[in-house]
Amino acid sequence: MGESWEGFPIKQPTGFHQPDEQYFWSTQSDSELDLLLFKDGRRIGFECKLNDAPRITKSMRTDMETLKLDELKVIHTGSKSYELDENVQAIPLSHLI
């Protein structure tokens, strides 16, 4: 269900941010990022989690470092925004629509 759920949240940031470029990113070592936006020279990553209290993962830390992200936003099904780590924020889907 997670893969089918990701489609809707992914459309929200692209409309709001109006990116210069946008990508899905994945490696052979199973690291992935659901959405990578380039906007005005900034790199913004989005990861979608089908739960109400996501936590930072090893993959997220790898994505931040490898892609040199300015920020990573983790979209989730809960109701609260909160910091997961430096420049990593959990954001409810309801705040994007």
φ, ψ dihedrals at 65, nearest 5°: -75, -50
Q: What is the CATH number for 24?
A: 3.40.1350.10
Residue-wise DSSP of 61-85: HHHHHHHT-SEEEEEESSS--EEEE
**Residue 45 lies in domain:** 2-95
pLDDT at residue 52, as a whole number: 92
Count the domains in the chain: 1
pLDDT at residue 82, as a whole number: 97
Nearest to 63 by CA among 52, 54, 53, 74: 74
Nearest to 48 by CA among 33, 68, 64: 33
Split the chain (97 residues) into runs of 10 and give each run's mean pLDDT: 64 65 77 88 92 92 93 94 96 86
pLDDT at residue 5, as a whole number: 66
Question: SS3 for 23?
Answer: strand
97 contacts 12 by C-beta, under 8 angstroms: yes
CA distance 68 to 64: 5
Q: pLDDT per residue over 4-19, tens digit each?
A: 666 667 766 655 567 7
Question: What is the model's pTM?
Answer: 0.83
